[in-house]
Amino acid sequence: MTRAFVFPGQGAQTIGMGKALADHYPAARAVFDEVDDALDARLSDLIWTGEIEALTLTENAQPALMACSLAVVRALEAEGIQIADGAFVAGHSLGEYSALAAARALTIADTARLLRQRGQAMQAAVPVGVGAMAAILGLDFDALTEVAAEAAEAEVCQAANDNDPGQVVVSGHAAAVERAVALAKAKGAKRAVLLPVSAPFHCSLMQPAAEAMAQALADVTIAAPVVPLVANVTASATSDPETIRAQLITQITGSVRWRESVLYMAGQGVTEIWELGAGKALSGMVRRIDRSVTCTAIASPDDISALLAAQA
């Protein structure tokens, strides 16, 4: 089987995530220690015993989810399973940073600092309440692109996340997103739900955050990943560090082309995708995109034990 490793985005966070891995694998615990040191804060305490409201803050959730994903990577490496044995890495939004750290293009410390800056910059870009995001079920990306354009009415409204054939997220000014929800329902959407997010990610309102990340990324060393990254903004693979740097900036305001990314990997011969980190959202999306691709979500020592038993 040709395998790809994928990494979740914001929304998968839970209190206690990664604790069992850290207790079971010294290499996994070392990831959390490294993130704590890089941020000069006990993020691990917040992840394991804190309040979900604090963990959900963008500046905390982003490095926390990366830490959990990298803890899984290090635990798998301790069992002899290497990222370099895969064909690709990919991540959903912030998960792209986790993918790059997993593939040794970024250090864990740099990734933690970048994600804290990214979270702060994205939150600061738009005052709370000005923007919104909504998940639309039952219309495809092309249809929602038209809906968003019609709903904008001189404000910002964009199709932000092409998650799978039946789920697209729109983002922009709150009133425009509400108009898009109504329009989508009128055009046959099965369901349209405003998301509990604090900012309108992946639309042009995030331009101040893109500019902040351009500065942050300019000072960071990016190496060629050990396997190619399938980038959110192009839905195609690259291993060139400067291309990756540019794409990470574009990603802040650009659409997450997840459906196309999965189809690209399947078209390149990928038959098995492992989701490393909190939750199983990406596995569900992959199944809805291409049922011929086998999905495995790995977040705990029990998941790894089951994986090893299945491979024995």
What's the pLDDT at 312?
75
Query: pLDDT at position 196, please?
Result: 81
Give the three-class secondary structure for 111.
Answer: helix
CATH superfamily of 131-197: Malonyl-CoA ACP transacylase, ACP-binding (3.30.70.250)
pLDDT attached to residue 188: 95
Residues of the chain short of pLDDT 70, as ranges, are 1
User: Are 27 and 35 spatial neighbours (Cβ–Cβ below 8 Å)?
Assistant: no
pLDDT given at position 83: 97
Catalytic residue check, 93:
yes
Percent of the chain with pLDDT over 90: 94
Furthest-apart CA pair in the chain: how many Å? 59
The SS3 assignment for 102 reads helix
**Catalytic residue status for 236:** no
pLDDT, tens digit (0-9, with 9 covering 90-100), for 92-122? 999 999 999 999 999 999 999 999 999 999 9
What's the CA gap between 180 and 158, in Å, rounded? 9
Mind giving me the DSSP string for 166-213?
TEEEEEEEHHHHHHHHHHHHHTT-SEEEE---SS--SSGGGHHHHHHH
- CB contact at 8 A, 259 and 162: yes
What pLDDT, on a 0 to 100 scale, did the predictor assign at position 47?
A: 98
For the chain, the structural domain boundaries read: 3-125+205-311, 131-197
Element (H, E) at 91: strand 88-91
| CA 152 – CA 160 distance, rounded (Å) | 13
Catalytic residue among 44, 98, 202, 261: 202
3-state helix, strand, coil in the chain (%, to 5): 55, 15, 30
Instruction: Check: pTM over 0.85? Answer yes or no.
Output: yes
Class of the 3-125+205-311 domain?
alpha beta
**Residue 90, helix vs strand vs coil:** strand
Contact 124, 211 (CB under 8 A): no
The reply to whether 3-125+205-311 and 131-197 are identical in fold is: no
The catalytically annotated residue of 44, 69, 93, 98 is 93
